[in-house]
Structure 1
């Protein structure tokens, strides 16, 4: 049975760990994908905003160059000026592209980084294009005139439109000729560690020297908010699975414990019932085969022994039946004024008369007047505690009984110097049918019902009971009853 439980435990533990591992791996992948999506969205949004702003700048420049009615087409990082508003301009097309060796290209600058291709142009096209180029060129490495505040506002709006948010810093960077305050890397605080790809300012800087870049804080909280539903569901699922595992394991262990208690109870019951039956059988056999019937005095002795043993057997059966009845019906308590000192003294005298070993009592129960108790059941409680102290002791025992009434109720302690109770069993001794395991030995007879009955009576009075014990140093039972 133990081997089977261990196998079940390890299989269930492996299952729980596997589920938790897969959940963690799935959540990690989701986190990484969301992080990558955040980076992609911030890059695409910055590119879109910069290109839109450059389109506005181009429209203004071409208007100043004599092309007020051209439309702007944005294609990747290439700005295309195409299409007339009137039928007579249908042949005009101006495109900004990277450097090529096209024979119909006109240099935009000495560096040749960018060219303007003019196809099917009218006689004044070259003049207007040169005028336009002059507006775009920059000298001395100065940054182009970019409205960063408006660009940042447009960028934030674009991020919001794409359902993305985060604190960022936006500025221009110089990719070719670093200057004071403008290098190839964005000058941002260290906490803004996530950088977007630089976006070229084609409309404002043909040399490709100046670009725009944004820096963000790590989007951890943003990602966690986006994954809130997944995280909550995963935590609930993991908690539910682990809780079911713990509950199932606890149920299995409890069932095993109940099975052990049942087997122990059956063994104890067998020993308890066999003793009176064997005694009665021996008495009957003596009267039948050893002439006890011819001796009235012997016959009377054997009959008296048989009657006592049968009465003991009847008491055992009745005790078990009473416990079964108490499962279905609550224990009935009938409080009445009782003087605890008198009740304890009466029980002590009874045990002194019938004890099978030397017993020394130290009684200190204050005369505090009457306390509302059920005399019968509370008497049985004290009797059981004294009886256990005598049974689970050595050749002689000292029992100290102390009782006091305080502001809230009445407290009684029964202390002995017996064999004690291991700590691992102290919470279980009040369970029904439980007895501290002693292997196959049964030096003390019983069913494990005494302390269970004690707890039932105390709790029905609204009180509580506790035990303190150490092996080979005795036990102390302390009960409190409301007054």
Structure 2
């Protein structure tokens, strides 16, 4: 699937999730806001009555019991008074009594504190205030008025009349109810955020897997084409040489005939080595590779490899050998030699016509370090993390001017073989300057 379409699908998927969650949160907020409004309308008349009773209690203390009604501020408003009309008449009667007989008018400040305390008992720690209004809810002169955007951030309770003619009324205003809703929805909001992050993470992870699978599929396809092309050349050479030898044309020229046999042998070994490399990687992946450890003379091994590549290479190559070890290395000679051979082969492939390759062996604690360094093209930094994966060629597979043959198996082979020997492989490289592969193997393996 094209990367562009994957991104579009991902964006649409996340957008749908966000929309669904947003609708859910809005509906939840509206429900909490409705509950807050209903609670305010239910509690505010009780607070108004408690304010009147509080004033009468103060009057009782001031004038004495003989001039007042015997009223209790602890009367249970909800249980003893249930009819709405009776509630209104009681508030009107008591307020009228206090107002006309003792000139005790409603105290907005006292009503504020009582209503705030009553709301807090219900679990609403809200910012609010009370004010005198007319029967339609419009603040009377001198009272705090709300306008513009502030009016949109408030919830008003129902108007409560203080007298029968409803010429004097009070109303409570809850300011910024959003914070109350957010506190109520805190767990839900956190869960929503975590859910969105989790789903987004899963989608991104799945997309990465899809992109990786597509990339591997492309690399495998390139590998198949490259392998067929690389196998086709020796097969054609073997076929042609076989026809020539079969025809008897070389019988009269033993020297040329011997050269043809050498060509057959070299091309056959080329195919055999290719097959062996692929089989070795397959065995390593299935943990079925058997190693035959023996004592290895790295000095002699380096000499053999230098001689082999000096004769084989068409480039102007210079080899530098530096072996400074006193301990013996125990490892599988054939696999180790093939691993180092792969590194040297890469040094010659990924370099200009003139290249210097340095082979180093040195001791480091209980390990022996084998280094293969060249002054070739180097490996881009972004490709270095994936360089030991199968089918990876250090970004060379994406270059249009790529004329270097290969399957991207060599370094994967090196990594798996050295790992099987309880060793490790590391890379130091600067693009355009050098590459250095370091094989770390235990002295006693």
Q: Report TM bin, short chain.
A: 0.7 to 0.9
CA deviation after TM superposition for structure 1 residue 49, in Å: 2.9
Change (3 A) 1:296 1:249: same
Query: Distance between the aligned counterparts of 1:408 and 1:135, measured in 2?
Result: 105
Which residue of structure 2 lines up, in the alignment, with residue 324 of structure 1? 282
Shift of 1:327: 2.8
1:137 matched to 2:103: yes
* Residues 1:6 and 2:15 are matched in the alignment: no
Give the gaps of 5 or more residues in structure 1.
82-94, 98-107, 109-113, 117-130, 187-192
Number of the residue aligned with 1:370 = 328
Shift of 1:456: 0.9
Given that 2:51 and 2:111 are in contact with CA atoms closer than 8 Å, whether structure 1 keeps it comes out as no
1:386 aligns with 2:395: no
In 1: Cα distance, 2:212 partner to 2:108 partner? 79
**Matched-pair contact (CA < 8 Å) for 1:339–1:369:** no
Cα pair 2:362 2:370 within 8 Å, conserved: yes
CA distance in 1, matches of 2:325, 2:391: 36
Q: Give the count of matched residue pairs.
A: 417
Q: Which moved more, 1:356-365 or 1:368-377?
A: 368-377
Pair 1:454 & 2:420 matched: no
Flag the 1:342–1:51 CA change in 2: closer, same or farther, 3 A: farther
CA distance in 1, matches of 2:258, 2:81: 128
TM-fit CA distance, 1:14: 2.3
Distance 1:143 1:52 in 2: 11
TM-score, structure 2 as length reference: 0.73
| Partner residue of 1:239 out of 177, 188, 197 | 197
Work out whether residues 37 and 157 of structure 2, in 8 Å CA contact, stay in contact via their aligned partners in 1. no
Q: Report the TM-score, using the length of structure 1 for normalisation.
A: 0.68
The Cα shift of 1:283 comes to 1.9
Give, in whole Å, the separation in 2 of the partners of 1:478 and 1:23: 53
Report matched runs for 1:21-170 at 5 Å. Answer: 21-31=19-29, 33-35=31-33, 37-38=35-36, 40-42=38-40, 44-52=42-50, 54=52, 75=84, 79-81=88-90, 96=92, 134-135=100-101, 137-138=103-104, 143=107, 153-157=117-121, 159=122, 164-166=123-125
> 1:78 and 1:13, CA in 2 relative to 1: closer, same or farther beyond 3 A?
same
Q: 1:254 to 1:24 in 2, by over 3 A?
A: same
The 10-residue stretch of structure 1 (282-291 or 164-173) with the greater mean CA deviation from structure 2: 164-173
Taking a change above 3 Å as real, the CA distance of residues 378 and 76 of structure 1, as seen in their structure-2 partners, is farther
User: Which whole-Å CA distance do the structure 1 matches of 2:111 and 2:81 have between them?
Assistant: 20
Q: Distance in 1 between matches of 2:243 and 2:81?
A: 124
- Looking at structure 1, the residues matched to 318 and 70 of structure 2 have their Cα atoms a distance apart, in angstroms, of 121
Q: Write out aligned runs for 1:64-463 (5 A).
A: 75=84, 79-81=88-90, 96=92, 134-135=100-101, 137-138=103-104, 143=107, 153-157=117-121, 159=122, 164-166=123-125, 184=144, 202=162, 208=168, 220=179, 222-289=180-247, 291-293=249-251, 295=253, 298-333=256-291, 343-344=301-302, 347-352=305-310, 354-367=312-325, 369-371=327-329, 373-407=331-365, 409-435=367-393, 436-437=396-397, 443-463=403-423
User: Cα 1:283–1:438, aligned 2, differ >3 Å: closer, same or farther?
Assistant: farther
1:369-417 deviations in Å (ceiling 9; x for gaps): 3355444433332222112112322222111334443347444432212
- Is this contact kept in 1: 2:120–2:126, CA < 8 A? no
| 1:10 CA displacement | 1.7
CA distance in 2, matches of 1:32, 1:408: 71
Given that 2:108 and 2:130 are in contact with CA atoms closer than 8 Å, whether structure 1 keeps it comes out as no
- Work out whether residues 81 and 87 of structure 2, in 8 Å CA contact, stay in contact via their aligned partners in 1: no
Conserved? CA contact 2:294–2:331, under 8 Å: yes
The change in CA–CA distance for 1:198 and 1:377 in structure 2 (over 3 A counts) is same
Unmatched segments (≥5 aa) in structure 2: 72-79, 134-138, 147-152
Which moves more between the two structures, 50-59 or 354-363?
50-59
- Flag the structure with higher helix content: 2
Deviation at 1:452, TM superposition (A): 0.6
SS in 2 for 1:292: coil
